[in-house]
Structure 1
């Protein structure tokens, strides 16, 4: 029969057997517990690993908790800081916007007042402009009427001189006899002049006091026909000289023309200058009217005022 336990021997006196019936109950119970512990005991390395794992997990959890708390605290602090900064900036912007708005409001009020003042002045200007336009229209109408009346007066003055001739550049002598000179003129131009045909004869001063030429001689005849015939005869006689009229002194060219008004004389002078600048060949006077002709074959047209002087001559040239 096989034995489960080795027998006791003197060489192994510490070996005790649980099945010994002579052992007390307490010892037997303690031995049984020890046997059971020996059966459940684990290796030491595994225990250490388990402890380490527990500690690591605990530390990691604690660190994660601290991290979360710290992150939450930092996030909250940052949020509060950012929120504070934003609130300050918003407050500054709000104050700036309010100041800008107040300034803009003041400037707008100023602009509105200026605009209102400008509009009032514009209304005043418009009213004054309307009044000025009315006055200008009245003045234009009045000026036209005045011009018409002036033209009529000039025409009447020129008509009153239709019996007269004007002898220009005739040398003056203190003891001169104009009637004798006039009779000699008739003989030279081969158109006798009778004393009975003369109404008056005299010299007239120049309009320009600085003019040193001899005063012109004005002769008034009894009829316009006599006047026209004498002028035609004088123009047909080329180069009428003062010595042929028995006038002593320096020999001068003598001119016999129609007696023009001061206005027509000035117009005739300007017309000759304008015609010369535009290569016109003929400028003359007939019955108090200034006539212009560019060439021998060109049409003849009359010049009655300064506007005609410039426009008609330039248009004829073109």
Structure 2
């Protein structure tokens, strides 16, 4: 009689799991096998549970790794973007600082330039004020000087109020000017007595280049005699040298008031200006230069160079 081998308590019992991969015929023909699988079903549940736990653990771990990777990537991207932003901001800040520094330097230069300009302007204004004050003083002095000059010219012209000036009278060696003036009285039909003549002589021209005969100055005893001779001479139009018994080439002879050098120049300029602007009359009366555009125009006097402008304004 066979006996079961004794159970060794010290030897662990080995459990064998079922094999699901047995052939179909074994599973179909052996009911004991089916019964055995039915007995083994709790172990499959344990295995599935463990698989589920492992899968969940793996999935959790994978999710954890994914989260860590996402966080790492996000952190890396954020750090990279932050680094790029910080670098660009630093560049921009440096550029802005340089620009601001340059602007500050330019503003400083402009401010210095403005200060210099303001100082120069103040200096110029002071100098202009000084010049204006000097001009006011000079203008006042000039007016006074001009007034004195005008008075002197008037006095000089007044001193010649007894004189006539004979222009373009031919010169002869050993000429007798008294005989000429007597003959002049006969020609103009206003007899001139020798007693009415204070002096008679020739005067040199102001310009040495003037080749015309020297003018003859005749001074009478009274202004009335002078004025009468001039009026008679103007009434006798076209006075000629041969009428005065002067031999040689016949010349036109002119009888005028004796003007100062200043008034002569002024009279010459006035005639040129009047001719330019088609004025009809320019003449001398009592030392004053008178101008008239037409027979019906207003007569006005020319006393200085400024008055010559009246000729233009009247045109």
Structure-2 separation of matches of 1:298 and 1:75: 107
> Residues 35 and 129 of structure 1: is their aligned pair in 2 closer, same or farther, counting only changes over 3 Å?
closer
Q: Give the aligned partner of residue 289 of structure 1.
A: 288
Structure-1 separation of matches of 2:217 and 2:179: 14
* 1:62-101 equivalent positions in 2, closer than 5 A: 66-101=65-100
Unaligned stretches of 5+ in structure 2? 1-28
> Residues 36 and 148 of structure 1: is their aligned pair in 2 closer, same or farther, counting only changes over 3 Å?
same
Structure-1 separation of matches of 2:234 and 2:30: 189
Q: Give the aligned partner of residue 315 of structure 1.
A: 313
3-state DSSP class of the match of 1:232?
Answer: helix
- Cα deviation, residue 57, structure 1: 8.4
> Residues 209 and 55 of structure 1: is their aligned pair in 2 closer, same or farther, counting only changes over 3 Å?
farther
Q: Give the aligned partner of residue 12 of structure 1.
A: none
Provide the aligned length of Structure 1 versus Structure 2. 285
- Cα deviation, residue 62, structure 1: 6.6
Structure-2 separation of matches of 1:193 and 1:289: 25
- Provide Cα deviations, 1:93-119, integer angstroms capped at 9, x if missing partner: 333333333333333333333322222
> TM-score scaled to structure 1, two decimals?
0.79
- Cα deviation, residue 305, structure 1: 1.7
Q: Give the aligned partner of residue 15 of structure 2.
A: none
- Cα deviation, residue 151, structure 1: 0.9
Structure-2 separation of matches of 1:304 and 1:102: 70
- Provide Cα deviations, 1:62-112, integer angstroms capped at 9, x if missing partner: 766555443332221121112112222222233333333333333333333
- Provide Cα deviations, 1:226-254, integer angstroms capped at 9, x if missing partner: 10000001000010001111111111000
Structure-2 separation of matches of 1:189 and 1:242: 13
> Residues 166 and 36 of structure 1: is their aligned pair in 2 closer, same or farther, counting only changes over 3 Å?
same
> Residues 111 and 315 of structure 1: is their aligned pair in 2 closer, same or farther, counting only changes over 3 Å?
closer
> TM-score scaled to structure 2, two decimals?
0.80
* 2:199 matches 1:197: no
- Provide Cα deviations, 1:169-208, integer angstroms capped at 9, x if missing partner: 1111122111111111111111111111111111111112
- Cα deviation, residue 310, structure 1: 1.7
> Residues 248 and 76 of structure 1: is their aligned pair in 2 closer, same or farther, counting only changes over 3 Å?
same
Structure-2 separation of matches of 1:137 and 1:166: 42
Q: Give the aligned partner of residue 25 of structure 1.
A: none
Q: Give the aligned partner of residue 306 of structure 1.
A: 305
Q: Give the aligned partner of residue 256 of structure 2.
A: 257
Structure-2 separation of matches of 1:74 and 1:36: 52
> Residues 53 and 244 of structure 1: is their aligned pair in 2 closer, same or farther, counting only changes over 3 Å?
farther
- Provide Cα deviations, 1:245-293, integer angstroms capped at 9, x if missing partner: 1111111000000001111111111111222222221111111111122
The alignment's C-alpha RMSD in Å is: 3.2
